[in-house]
Structure 1
Amino acid sequence: MKKVSFAEFGGPEVLRLIDAEEPHAGPGRIRIAVRAAGVNPVDWRLREGQVLGAHPVVLPAGVGQDAAGVVDEVGEGVDGVAVGDRVFGEGTATYAEFAVLSAWALMPGGLTFEEAAGYPSVVETALRIIREVGVRPGETLLVGGAAGGVGSAVLQIARDRGIAVIGTASAANQDYLRGLGALATTYGEGWVERVRRLGRVDAALDLAGSGVIRELVELTGDPRRVVSIADLDAPALGVRFSGVAGSVPDALAEAAALITRGRLHIPVEKSYPLAEAAAAHTDSQSGHTRGRRVMIP
Structure 2
Amino acid sequence: MRAITYAKYGSADVLELTEQPDPHPGADAVVVRVKAASVNPVDWKVREGYLDGLLDAQFPVVPGWDVAGVVEQVGLDTPEYAVGDEVYGYVRKDWVHGGTFAELVSAPVRTLAPKPSTLSFEEAAAVPLTGLTALQSIRRADVRAGQTVLVHAAAGGVGSFAVQIAKARGARVIGTASEGNHDFLRSLGAEPVTYGDGLADRVRALAPEGVDVALDYVGGDAVAVSADVLAPGGTIASIADPAARDEHGGQYVWVRPSTEDLAELGALIDEGTVGVEVAEVYDLADAAAAHRASETGHVRGKIVVRV
- Same-fold status (TM-score > 0.5): yes
How many residues align structurally? Answer: 297
When structure 1 is superposed on structure 2, of 143-152 and 194-203 the one drifting more is 194-203
Question: 1:224 touches 1:238 (CA, 8 Å); kept in 2?
Answer: no
In structure 2, do the counterparts of structure 1 residues 272 and 247 end up closer, same or farther at CA, with 3 Å as the change threshold?
Answer: closer
Name the structure 2 match of 1:135. 143
Aligned equivalents of 2:178, 2:233: Cα separation in 1: 25
1:67 counterpart = 2:67: yes
1:95 counterpart = 2:101: yes
Aligned equivalents of 1:30, 1:19: Cα separation in 2: 21
Aligned equivalents of 1:188, 1:283: Cα separation in 2: 22
Match of 1:206 among 189, 194, 216: 216
Aligned equivalents of 2:13, 2:203: Cα separation in 1: 39
In structure 2, do the counterparts of structure 1 residues 234 and 139 end up closer, same or farther at CA, with 3 Å as the change threshold?
Answer: closer
% identity of equivalent residues:
42
TM-score, normalised relative to structure 1 = 0.93
Aligned equivalents of 1:14, 1:66: Cα separation in 2: 20
1:118 counterpart = 2:106: no
When structure 1 is superposed on structure 2, of 156-165 and 79-88 the one drifting more is 79-88
State the Cα distance separating 1:229 from its structure 2 match.
1.3
1:55 counterpart = 2:61: no
Aligned equivalents of 1:150, 1:40: Cα separation in 2: 10
1:250 counterpart = 2:260: yes
One-letter code aligned to 1:124: L
One-letter code aligned to 2:191: L
Q: Secondary structure at the match of 1:58?
A: strand
In structure 2, do the counterparts of structure 1 residues 76 and 223 end up closer, same or farther at CA, with 3 Å as the change threshold?
Answer: farther
State the Cα distance separating 1:223 from its structure 2 match.
9.8
Name the structure 1 match of 2:113. 105
Gaps of 5+ in 1: none
In structure 2, do the counterparts of structure 1 residues 40 and 242 end up closer, same or farther at CA, with 3 Å as the change threshold?
Answer: farther
Equivalent residues in 2 for 1:178-257 (5 A)? 178-199=186-207, 200-220=210-230, 225-231=235-241, 237-238=247-248, 242-257=252-267
In structure 2, do the counterparts of structure 1 residues 217 and 223 end up closer, same or farther at CA, with 3 Å as the change threshold?
Answer: farther
Question: 2:34 touches 2:105 (CA, 8 Å); kept in 1?
Answer: yes
In structure 2, do the counterparts of structure 1 residues 36 and 247 end up closer, same or farther at CA, with 3 Å as the change threshold?
Answer: closer
CA deviations on 1:195-249 (whole Å, 9 max, x unpaired) are: 1111131111111123322111111157972122124665664465635333511
Aligned equivalents of 2:32, 2:23: Cα separation in 1: 10
Question: 1:224 touches 1:239 (CA, 8 Å); kept in 2?
Answer: no
Question: 2:213 touches 2:230 (CA, 8 Å); kept in 1?
Answer: yes
When structure 1 is superposed on structure 2, of 190-199 and 109-118 the one drifting more is 190-199
State the Cα distance separating 1:60 from its structure 2 match.
2.3
1:290 counterpart = 2:300: yes
Q: Secondary structure at the match of 2:189?
A: coil
Aligned equivalents of 2:55, 2:250: Cα separation in 1: 18
Aligned equivalents of 1:249, 1:261: Cα separation in 2: 18
Q: Secondary structure at the match of 1:145?
A: coil
1:176 counterpart = 2:184: yes
Aligned equivalents of 1:241, 1:272: Cα separation in 2: 35
In structure 2, do the counterparts of structure 1 residues 260 and 17 end up closer, same or farther at CA, with 3 Å as the change threshold?
Answer: same
In structure 2, do the counterparts of structure 1 residues 222 and 42 end up closer, same or farther at CA, with 3 Å as the change threshold?
Answer: farther
Aligned equivalents of 1:240, 1:66: Cα separation in 2: 28
Aligned equivalents of 1:248, 1:40: Cα separation in 2: 18
Question: 1:192 touches 1:215 (CA, 8 Å); kept in 2?
Answer: yes
CA deviations on 1:249-291 (whole Å, 9 max, x unpaired) are: 1111101111121111112110111222222112112122211
Name the structure 2 match of 1:21. 21
In structure 2, do the counterparts of structure 1 residues 178 and 35 end up closer, same or farther at CA, with 3 Å as the change threshold?
Answer: same
State the Cα distance separating 1:14 from its structure 2 match.
1.8
Name the structure 2 match of 1:85. 85
One-letter code aligned to 1:273: D
One-letter code aligned to 1:77: D
CA RMSD between the two structures: 2.0
Question: 2:141 touches 2:251 (CA, 8 Å); kept in 1?
Answer: no
Question: 2:245 touches 2:252 (CA, 8 Å); kept in 1?
Answer: no
State the Cα distance separating 1:29 from its structure 2 match.
0.8
1:41 counterpart = 2:34: no
Question: 1:147 touches 1:288 (CA, 8 Å); kept in 2?
Answer: no
Question: 1:54 touches 1:244 (CA, 8 Å); kept in 2?
Answer: no
Question: 2:281 touches 2:304 (CA, 8 Å); kept in 1?
Answer: yes
CA deviations on 1:86-128 (whole Å, 9 max, x unpaired) are: 1111224100111112221222222100000011111211111
Q: Secondary structure at the match of 1:202?
A: strand
